Amino acid sequence: MEIKFVTTTCPYCGSGCSFNLVVKDGKIIDTQPCQRGPVNEGKLCPKGVFGFEFINSPDRLTTPLVRKNGELVPASWDEALAVIAENFAKYQPDEFAVISSARCCNEDNYAMQKFARIVLKTANIDHCARLCHAPTVAGLAKVFGSGASTNSFDDLAIADLVFIIGSNNFEAHPLAARRIMQAKEKGAHIIVCDPRRTPTAKQAELHIQHRPGTDIQLLNCLMKNIIENDWIDHEFVENRTLGYDDLKACVAQDKYSIENTAKICGIPEESIKQALQWLHECQHKTAFVHCLGITQHTVGVDNVRSIAFIQTLLGNIGKPGCGVNALRGQNNVQGSCDMGALPNVYAGYFSVMNPDLAKKVADYWGVESVPQGQIGLHIPEMLDTLYEHPDKVKCMYLMGENPVISDPNSKMVEQAMENCEFLVVQDIFETETSRYADVVLPGSCYAEEDGTQTNAERRVQRFRKAQDAPGESKLDWQIMKMIAEKMGYGQYFQWETSEDVFNEMRGITPQYAGITYAKLEGDGIQWPCPTEDHPGTAILHINEFAGMPEGKAALEAVEHREPAEVVDEEYPIWLTTGATIWHWPSGSMTRRCEQLDKDAPTAWLEINVKDAEKYGVKDGEVVVLYSRRGEVEVAARVIPDIKEGVFFMPFHFTEARANLVTNTAYDPVSKTPEFKVCAVNIRKKEA
């Protein structure tokens, strides 16, 4: 018997905890704490402890599958590659849609965007940041010139006020939440703004339980009063910002008064006053933390900008214990963006609209040109086009993404998948989406590969191979390489190891230029790290906003707007959806982990006690939840913790899919769907 311990990074959330995989006779059997982990110092949440159980599930894909006579059947790699090469050769660049994966390492994402851009020659590449923190990337880039979180988890622990808005980090980022608890233990104030009294809100000194979709109203009201009380940091605003007068004139309007805001948000005036007092008392030691309660709205980008504005007015940028801290969701969603798996930028955020940068990328890859001058399709546009104009997008290549569960309006997504002429799905399991595929390719999971991923504080850390991938499955980047070779593009994919891919990537990605596998043997490195002797960067924008005109932050007027769908007589309840601590978005991994599945075996609908009385619904009763898009049967959970007039449903469960009812409306800038608000109703299930 041989036992070994392999230190790696958690494949679930963007906290980026480290742990050891325990490997017995070549198979992973357990996890163990790694005390040195810079983020988690040996602690883990339930997914860190039990979330490895899917790795050796008998359901893992072990060979390619090819559709024959309507059935997906096992096939050899030769056969699968031949079918793919023959079909990929049929389509024009604009007829492709490629989705990369925040579940996969930087190396896989770099390979995928290179594959899309030089083999398929398409601009249409995106990944699940679109469904998630794209408004953070777009919003922070607009204000500060960089779309990443400004500070580090360590800053949360030293703050005097942690202002949490739209983040349930106790469930979604438990080890980042631990830093906030460290602040609380030393006396910091904690504010949580959330329509639900979540486990996170229960830890707060002040819970502002506002109605979904009213964050700009609340933030503008706070800014109005900060300005009127003359609490802004004048030196910072004068020297480091443009556009202050515009913002000031907007928030000065009477509609942002405390009185009117209390009415619109449905909260007591006292809670606004309390928040203001602490923002003043703790100025220069206030950290804002946000997540999807802010981003998944048709006003997501403006929500994020409003947070950036308030921190700028207070002079809380570029300082320890401060900043705008976006808790990035998937393990590697930060990295997937950095690698350029996006329709508007190449790796390193080089704009596809800048011909000089496009030439730089083409020259680096040794090709004549790369798609440029056109922003490709975003995920919602890919699905809309497949649904409405299947003659325009005909072929889709999906890696590590399960849109049938995770995109809004599932019925529409299923039809879009059905309409797709040639669909390739590369995953580690068969999924609700792979049912529609023409070819399914077996990728490998984090524990079977060397690689890197980048957490929510821009910390690049290592995955390390602990066991072989099952059967004939391959590393994800190796699969792209094999398809490229089959299609005659092998010379551009001459990598032997993951480190080769990483080294090619850092040669064209300025933020990663100084990071090497050897340097990552320590505690990981936070980008930007421009040279090999650079230690990395914990706090951004200390002296200037590089990349902004005059190096200054851009303030602007932003008005409160209502969600795309509002309640009415027919649909009188606001529905919000989100995550639970036990499961991961589409459930493909965590529902195959025995312990996690036992703790949360199926979906539920949170209903306020008073609403339950009004509708005559009992705790545990199965009801029909319906909207203009569809309906779903789900068991009611009657609790006092959710705001009256608001329902909440988790979205992980295939047998009770929240996305059957959600709205496809999206933010006009980031194209992120409004998962956090739509109008619904319930009725009794017919006996």
Residues that bind ligand SF4 (CB under 6 A): 10, 12-13, 15-17, 40, 44-45, 47-48, 173-175
The least distance separating ligand SF4 from the CB of residue 12, rounded to whole angstroms, comes to 3
The least distance separating ligand MGD from the CB of residue 291, rounded to whole angstroms, comes to 3
Site for ligand MGD contains 637 (CB under 6 A): no
DSSP string, 434-487: GGG-SEEEE---GGG--EEEE-TTSEEEEE---SPPSTT---HHHHHHHHHHHT
Stretch that binds ligand MGD, among 230-238, 252-260, 395-403, 505-513 (CB under 6 A): 395-403
Taking a C-beta distance cutoff of 8 angstroms, is the pair 138, 130 a contact? no
Give the whole-angstrom CA distance, residue 228 versus residue 222: 10
User: Using CB under 6 A, which of 399, 412, 466, 482 touches ligand MGD?
Assistant: 399
**Cβ atoms within 10 Å, residue 594:** 12
Give the whole-angstrom CA distance, residue 148 versus residue 538: 12
Give the whole-angstrom CA distance, residue 520 versus residue 16: 14
The least distance separating ligand SF4 from the CB of residue 585, rounded to whole angstroms, comes to 12
Quick one: DSSP state of residue 674?
Answer: -
The least distance separating ligand MGD from the CB of residue 686, rounded to whole angstroms, comes to 26
Q: With respect to ligand MGD, which residue has the nearer C-beta, 340 or 585? A: 585
Element (H, E) at 24: strand 18-24
Site for ligand MGD contains 167 (CB under 6 A): yes
48 binds, among ligand SF4, Mo ion, ligand MGD, none (CB under 5 to 8 A by kind): ligand SF4
| Structure tokens belonging to residue 92 | 């024009």
Looking at the DSSP bridge assignments, the partners of residue 165 are 193, 290
User: Using CB under 5 A, which of 39, 132, 529, 603 touches Mo ion?
Assistant: 132
User: Using CB under 6 A, which of 372, 461, 588, 670 touches ligand MGD?
Assistant: 588
The least distance separating Mo ion from the CB of residue 502, rounded to whole angstroms, comes to 24
Q: With respect to ligand SF4, which residue has the nearer C-beta, 170 or 502? A: 170
Stretch that binds Mo ion, among 130-138, 177-185, 222-230, 672-680 (CB under 5 A): 130-138
Give the whole-angstrom CA distance, residue 127 versus residue 585: 14
* Residue recorded with tokens 């230190």: 7
User: Using CB under 6 A, which of 112, 143, 188, 579 touches ligand MGD?
Assistant: 579
The residue count for binding ligand MGD (CB under 6 A) is 63
15 binds, among ligand SF4, Mo ion, ligand MGD, none (CB under 5 to 8 A by kind): ligand SF4
Taking a C-beta distance cutoff of 8 angstroms, is the pair 472, 443 a contact? no
Site for ligand MGD contains 506 (CB under 6 A): no
Taking a C-beta distance cutoff of 8 angstroms, is the pair 193, 204 a contact? no
Task: Please compute Rg for the chain using Cα positions.
Answer: 24
Stretch that binds ligand MGD, among 212-220, 231-239, 456-464, 533-541 (CB under 6 A): 212-220
Site for ligand MGD contains 400 (CB under 6 A): yes
Site for ligand MGD contains 495 (CB under 6 A): no
Taking a C-beta distance cutoff of 8 angstroms, is the pair 505, 512 a contact? yes
Site for Mo ion in 304-333 (CB under 5 A): 329
Q: With respect to Mo ion, which residue has the nearer C-beta, 376 or 673? A: 673
Torsion of CA 447, 450, 454, 459, to 10 degrees: 110
Q: What is the end-to-end Cα distance of the chain in Å, rounded?
A: 57
175 binds, among ligand SF4, ligand MGD, Mo ion, none (CB under 5 to 8 A by kind): ligand SF4
The least distance separating ligand MGD from the CB of residue 191, rounded to whole angstroms, comes to 11
17 binds, among ligand MGD, Mo ion, ligand SF4, none (CB under 5 to 8 A by kind): ligand SF4
The least distance separating ligand MGD from the CB of residue 227, rounded to whole angstroms, comes to 22
Quick one: DSSP state of residue 119?
Answer: I
Q: Which of 393, 385, 388, 506 is nearest to 122 (CA)?
A: 393
Taking a C-beta distance cutoff of 8 angstroms, is the pair 453, 463 a contact? yes
The least distance separating ligand SF4 from the CB of residue 478, rounded to whole angstroms, comes to 26
SS3 324: strand
Give the whole-angstrom CA distance, residue 607 versus residue 131: 25
Site for ligand MGD in 536-555 (CB under 6 A): none
Quick one: DSSP state of residue 102?
Answer: T
Question: C-alpha angle with apex 460: 116 to 504, nearest 5 degrees?
Answer: 45
The least distance separating ligand SF4 from the CB of residue 159, rounded to whole angstroms, comes to 19
Site for ligand MGD contains 606 (CB under 6 A): no
Site for ligand MGD in 286-305 (CB under 6 A): 291-294, 296
Give the whole-angstrom CA distance, residue 385 versus residue 683: 33
Contacts with ligand MGD, residue ranges (CB under 6 A): 13, 47, 101, 103-104, 128, 131-132, 165-169, 171-173, 193-196, 198, 212-213, 215, 291-294, 296, 329-330, 399-402, 406, 426-429, 431, 443, 445-446, 476, 576-579, 581, 583-586, 588-589, 648, 651, 658-659, 662, 675-676
